Amino acid sequence: MSRRIILIVNAGSSSLKFSVFRLGDTDILQLAVRGQIDGIGTRPHLCVKDVTSAVVAERDFAIIEISNVQQAIWFAGDWLNEYFQDAQLLAVGHRVVHGGTDYSHPVLVDEAVFAALEQLIPLAPLHQPHNLAAIRVVREVQPQVPQIACFDTAFHRTHPQIADLYALPWKYYASGVRRYGFHGLSYEYIAATLPKVSPALAGGRVIAAHLGSGASLCAMQAGKSLDSTMGFSPLDGVPMGTRPGALDPGVLLYLINECGLSGADLEKLLYRESGLLGLSGISNDMRVLMESREPRAQLAIEYFLHYVIKQIGALAAVLGGIDGLVFTAGIGEHSPVIRARILQGCAWLGISVDAEANVRGGPRISMEDSPVAVWVIPTDEEWMIPRHTLALVFKKEKGYVN
C-alpha cells in the first residue's frame, strides 16, 4: 500500500511555504518535510527540512528561473513528486486570507467556490491572488485531487454584529463592507493550544497578540473571537512592517484629492511603503530597527509599541478585563525587549512580569501570583490547515460533502 500524504500550501507575494504530512495507519498526521521558497523575483532560494530540522534540499535560483509565485509552485511540485515518488496525494490544503461573508469554515474548492474567492481579491490584493494561484496550478496538474481552502477570516465569524459594523449606510454592510478580522488560523491555533498549556486560562478572557511583519490582536472569550484589531482588510489596527494600521479615512481623501494619488498608488503606499518601513525609512524588519541608532528607527519602534499598548487597553475594555495575554508570531515570540516594553505599558492591568522567564522566552513570563497570566506560545498556522484538510477529506469519502 502506498504512503498517503497531504500537501499544505501557503503562497504569498514573494514566498511560498509548503509542508507535507504523512497519514499513518491510525490516520494520525505526521509532519514529513517543511519547506520554503523565498525571495521570489529577487533572490529565489529553496530550503526544505525534515521533521528533525535537518536540511534535505537547498538551492539558489536565478531570477529568470523563479520570477513569480506560479513558477515557484511548479518547481516545488516537481521536487515533491521526486521526493515522494511512491506516495498517494490525498488532498492539498491552502491558506486563503479572505473568506468574505460566505465562508466561516474550511471548504472544499470547486468551480463555484473558486469564482467566489476571486471576487474577494479587492479585499486582500496583497495575498488573495497568490493564494488562488496555488489552487489554480494544482488544479491544472492534478484536477482529481481535492483542495481545501482554510480562511484567515473564519475564526472571527463568531464576532457579535456590533464588532463587525462600520457606521456607514446599511447598504454597504449588506454588500460586505464590514470588519472581518485576519490572522484567524494563528488565533485558532492559540485557542486550541491554550487548554494544554493553561486549562484554567483557556475558558477565560484572553488577548492574543500576533506580532510579526503582519500584526494584529484578538480578544477571545473561552476560545472564541469577540473582537480584533484588523477590519475590512489586513491594513487596519496596529502598525506593521509595511502597512500603516489604523488610519483616518480623511487622510485617504486628502491623498486622492490634494496629492493626486490613484487607487493603484494608494494600494502600493498602504501595502508596501508604510508601517515601520515608512516611518523609519530604513527597514520593515523590527530586528534591523532595534540595532539601528537612527532616530527615525527608534521613532518607528516607539510608534509600534504605543499602538500595541493602546489596542490591548481597548480590547481589555471589550472583554471587561482580562485573565491572560498571549504573545505569538515573529516579534511576539522572539523579542523579549519588545515584550518587556509592552508589558511595562500594560502595568495598570496588574501584570507582574518574570523578567528572567521573559528573557528565556517563557512559555510563561508572568509571576505565578500575577492576576493576569502572560504566555509566549509559538504559533503554527500551518498545523491547523492539515487538520481541517483531513477532516474534510474524510467527510468527502463518507459522502458528507460533494
Q: Which residue numbers are catalytic?
A: 152
Residue 361 CB coordination number (10 Å): 15
Among the listed residues 226, 214, 269, the one whose alpha carbon sits nearest the alpha carbon of residue 247: 269
Q: Which of 343, 317, 355, 10 is nearest to 209 (CA)?
A: 343
Q: What cell was used for 10?
A: 501557503
Classify each residue of 243-257 as buried b or exposed e, where b means 16 or more C-beta atoms within 10 Å of its C-beta. Answer: bbbeeeeeeeeebee
* Nearest alpha carbon to residue 112 among 103, 124, 125: 103
Query: E strand or H helix at 325, and its extent?
Result: strand 324-328
Please report which helix (H) or strand (E) contains residue 145, including its range. Answer: none
Number of C-alpha atoms within 13 angstroms, CB side, residue 393? 23
As a whole number of angstroms, the distance between CA 32 and CA 218 comes to 31
Q: Give CA–CA dist 339/377, Å, rounded.
A: 13
Type and span of the H or E element at 245: none
